[in-house]
Amino acid sequence: MLARFRVATTATGVRRQVWVFVFDDLDELRRSHAAAHGRDYDPDDDVAGSVVIQQGFRWPSPDPGPVIVMRLWTGQLTASTIAHEATHVATALYFMDSIAAWDTRARTVLMGAHEPLAYVVGDLTERINDRLHRLRLHS
Ligand SMILES: [Zn+2]
C-alpha cells in the first residue's frame, strides 16, 4: 500500500469517516478487496477501485460506527474513479443517516445494487471536470 488516510464528512448531518487506501500494485489492491469481502482472491476480478464497509452496519445488525474503506489504484486515479467510489460511499451513508427503516426495500439498492448510478456520477464528473479544465475555469 502506497498511502492511507481518512477523510470525514458531515453532509448527512452525522459525522462519518472513510478510510482511503491507495495502492500502486493492482494485484495487491484486488487481494485486499477480496479479503475485506471475505472472498477468495480471483485474479480475473475486474476491480481497479472499491468500497467495502469492513466493520459494522451489516445485515441484520446495524452498527452506528461503520468502518468504510475506499481502495484506489495509482494507475486509475481519475475523477471518474474517485466519483464512482464516492458514490458507493454516499449511497451507504444516505441509507444509514437518511432512511429511517433498516428493513426497507431501499436497502438492497443503497447498500450494493447501484453500479449504474456510480458509473453515471463518475462519467459525468469526469466529463464536466475535463471541460472545466479546457475552459480554464477549474479551481
Ligand atoms: Zn462500483
Report the phi/psi class of residue 107: left, alpha or beta, with left for phi > 0 and alpha for psi in -120 to 50: alpha
- pLDDT tens-digit map of 77-111: 999 999 999 999 999 899 888 887 777 778 778 87
**93/11 Cα distance (integer angstroms):** 9
- pLDDT tens-digit map of 44-81: 888 989 999 888 776 666 677 788 999 999 999 999 99
Cα diameter, the chain:
49
**85/68 Cα distance (integer angstroms):** 11
Strand, coil or helix: what is 92?
A: helix
Q: How far is the CA of 51 from the centre of ligand 1 (A)?
A: 8
Q: How far is the CA of 129 from the centre of ligand 1 (A)?
A: 20
Q: Say how many C-beta atoms besides its own lie within 10 A of residue 69's C-beta.
A: 21
Q: Position of cell 445488525? A: 61
DSSP state of 2: -
Say what the pTM is. 0.90
Q: How far is the CA of 127 from the centre of ligand 1 (A)?
A: 18
* Total number of residues shown for the chain: 139
| Residues, CB-to-ion distance under 5 Å, ligand 1 | 118
Q: How far is the CA of 115 from the centre of ligand 1 (A)?
A: 5
DSSP state of 11: T
